[in-house]
C-alpha cells in the first residue's frame, strides 16, 4: 500500500539512523499532477480537491469503482490527502453540531476536561466516543448525517467492506495552539522507542488498516487553524520514527500547507501523512470538526478473550516464579499472552491518555503488580477499575 514490503536490501527493523532528511525531501518535494486524477476538480497546494466531477460519477457502478481506484492511488501513491468540497449537507451538519454542542455543555457542567493525544487536557473541547452518543441522542439527525455517500465511497475505497467508523468531536477555541507534526493511529500513537519495537513491514502495513478524516462543522479560514499537512509524506518508509526527530519537525514547520475549509467540506488522508492541527488565532471562531477514524475489519482478533480473568488467574504463579528467581523476559512473555497489551479500543472519556499518547494497558498494569509485589486483592481491584474505564459510556 503506502510503502513497499521489505526486501533483502531494505531494513527489517528501523533505527533512528534510517531517518534521512534528504531522502525525505526527495519523497515530499514533488508536484501533484491533476492529469493523473480525472475525477478531481483541482489541485490546491499539492492537495487534490474533489467536487462536481466526482458527484457526477457516483450514480453509475462502473464509474464509482473507477473513482475508488483513483482515490486509492491518491491516498497511497499520490499526495496522501483528498478534500471533498461540500461533501456533507449543511443542514445535516448543523443538526449534528447542535447535538455535539449539547454534549460539550454537559461535559463542562460536570467539570470534565477531556484529555488529548497531542494537546494539553482542557485546551480544546473534545467529545470522545461521539458516534454512539450522537446515535442515542438524536437518531434521526444521526441517520441524515451518516447516510453520506462520500464517506462510504472513500471508506470502501481504502478499507473495503466491514469497516468501523469512530468519531471524536474536536473544538479548538480561539488561542488554541498548533500541534506538533505527527502521524496517526496505530504507530503514530506511540513514542519513538515503542515504534522501534515493530518491524518495518508493520510500519508499511499499519496505514492500510485505518483511514483518517474530518468534517468541517464551521467555516474554517486559515486564521482559525485548519489542519496543517505535508503532501506525499506518507510515502516515507521510516516516517513513524522520523516524526519524533527535531529536524523533521523543523522541515514540516517550514514546508507544510494549510487549506481553508467551508462548513460541510470533508478531508480524508492516509494516517501516515505528516500533519497537525493549526493555531486558532481568530478572535471568536470556535473551530469545530468531527474527526473520523475508520478502521479495517482486518484489525480485529478472531476470538474474544477474557484477559481480565486470565491476568488475575496467573498473577499468583507469576509472583511465585519471580520470587523463585525466574528471569524478567520469561515473566514478561507470560504477561504478553495473558493480558491485553494494547491500549485501544477504549473509552477515552474515562481512560484518558494523560501523561502520554495512550492510556495504561492491562499488560502494563499486570507487570506493575508483579514488579511491585502487590497482593491479589489489590490487583483484582485495579483490573476491575481498568475494565470499567474501558467500558462504553452508554452502559
Residue 368 lies in domain: 307-390
Of the three residues 299, 331, 364, the one that is the final residue of a domain is 299
Instruction: Please say if the pLDDT value at position 79 is more than 60.
Output: yes
If one counts every other C-beta atom within 10 angstroms of the C-beta of residue 218, the result is 19
pLDDT tens per residue, range 171-191: 999 998 888 999 998 999 899
What cell does 89 get? 449537507
Paired strand residues for 127: 169
Tell me if 277 is assigned to some domain: yes
Of the three residues 251, 282, 299, the one that is the final residue of a domain is 299
pLDDT tier at 353, thresholds 50, 70, 90: confident
Instruction: Report pLDDT for 89.
Output: 94
pLDDT tens per residue, range 10-57: 799 999 999 999 999 999 999 999 999 999 999 999 999 999 899 878
Of the three residues 299, 330, 361, the one that is the final residue of a domain is 299
Instruction: Please say if the pLDDT value at position 296 is more than 80.
Output: yes
CATH number at residue 167: 2.60.120.620
Please give the tally of structural domains in the chain.
2
Instruction: Report pLDDT for 132.
Output: 87
pLDDT tier at 310, thresholds 50, 70, 90: confident
Confidence (pTM) = 0.84
**At 107, is the secondary structure helix, strand, or coil?**
helix
Average the pLDDT over 320-344 and give the result.
86
Kindly list the distances between the CA atom of residue 319 and the CA atoms of 136, 313, 324, 335, 362, in Å, as whole numbers in the listed order: 45, 11, 9, 12, 17
Instruction: Report pLDDT for 342.
Output: 76
Match 511491585 to its residue by C-alpha cell. 372
Together in a domain, 42 and 168: yes
Together in a domain, 159 and 284: yes
Its sign, for the CA torsion 190, 191, 197, 202, is positive
Together in a domain, 269 and 344: no
Distance CA 185, CA 273 (A): 11
Instruction: Report pLDDT for 81.
Output: 98
Paired strand residues for 330: none
Amino acid at each position: 500500500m503506502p510503502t513497499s514490503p521489505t526486501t533483502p536490501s531494505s531494513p527489517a527493523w528501523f533505527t533512528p539512523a534510517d531517518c534521512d532528511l534528504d531522502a525525505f525531501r526527495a519523497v515530499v518535494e514533488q508536484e501533484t499532477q491533476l492529469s493523473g486524477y480525472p475525477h478531481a476538480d483541482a489541485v490546491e497546494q499539492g492537495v487534490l480537491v474533489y467536487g462536481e466531477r466526482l458527484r457526477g460519477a457516483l450514480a453509475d457502478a462502473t464509474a464509482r469503482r473507477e473513482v475508488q481506484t483513483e482515490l486509492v492511488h491518491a491516498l497511497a501513491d499520490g499526495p496522501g490527502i483528498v478534500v471533498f468540497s461540500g461533501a456533507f449537507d449543511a443542514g445535516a451538519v448543523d443538526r449534528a453540531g447542535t447535538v455535539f454542542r449539547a454534549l460539550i455543555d454537559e461535559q463542562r457542567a460536570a467539570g470534565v476536561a477531556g484529555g488529548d493525544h497531542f494537546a494539553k487536557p482542557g485546551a480544546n473541547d473534545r467529545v470522545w466516543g461521539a458516534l454512539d452518543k450522537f446515535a442515542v441522542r438524536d437518531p434521526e439527525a444521526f441517520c441524515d448525517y451518516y447516510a453520506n455517500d462520500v464517506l462510504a465511497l472513500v471508506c470502501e475505497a481504502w478499507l473495503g467492506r466491514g469497516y468501523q467508523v469512530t468519531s471524536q468531536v474536536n473544538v479548538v477555541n480561539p488561542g488554541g495552539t498548533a500541534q506538533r507534526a505527527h502521524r496517526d493511529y496505530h504507530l503514530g500513537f506511540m513514542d519513538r522507542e515503542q515504534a522501534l519495537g515493530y518491524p518495518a513491514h508493520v510500519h508499511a502495513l499499519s496505514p492500510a488498516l485505518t483511514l483518517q478524516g474530518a468534517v468541517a462543522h464551521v467555516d474554517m479560514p486559515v486564521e482559525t487553524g485548519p489542519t496543517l499537512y505535508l503532501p506525499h509524506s506518507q510515502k516515507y518508509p521510516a516516517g513513524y520514527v522520523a516524526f519524533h526527530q527535531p529536524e523533521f519537525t523543523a522541515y514540516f514547520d517550514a514546508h507544510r500547507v494549510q487549506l481553508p475549509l467551508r462548513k460541510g467540506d470533508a478531508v480524508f488522508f492516509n494516517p501516515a501523512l505528516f500533519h497537525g492541527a493549526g493555531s486558532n488565532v481568530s478572535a471568536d471562531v470556535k473551530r469545530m470538526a468531527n474527526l473520523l477514524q475508520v478502521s479495517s475489519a482486518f484489525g480485529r482478533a478472531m476470538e474474544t478473550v477474557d484477559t481480565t480473568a486470565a491476568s488475575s488467574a496467573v498473577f499468583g504463579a507469576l509472583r511465585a516464579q519471580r520470587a523463585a528467581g525466574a528471569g524478567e523476559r520469561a515473566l514478561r512473555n507470560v504477561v504478553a499472552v495473558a493480558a491485553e497489551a494494547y491500549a485501544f479500543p477504549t473509552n477515552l472519556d474515562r481512560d484518558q491518555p494523560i501523561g502520554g499518547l495512550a492510556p495504561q494497558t492491562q499488560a502494563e498494569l499486570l507487570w506493575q503488580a508483579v514488579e511491585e509485589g502487590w497482593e491479589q486483592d489489590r490487583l483484582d481491584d485495579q483490573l476491575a477499575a481498568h475494565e470499567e474505564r474501558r467500558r462504553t459510556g452508554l452502559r
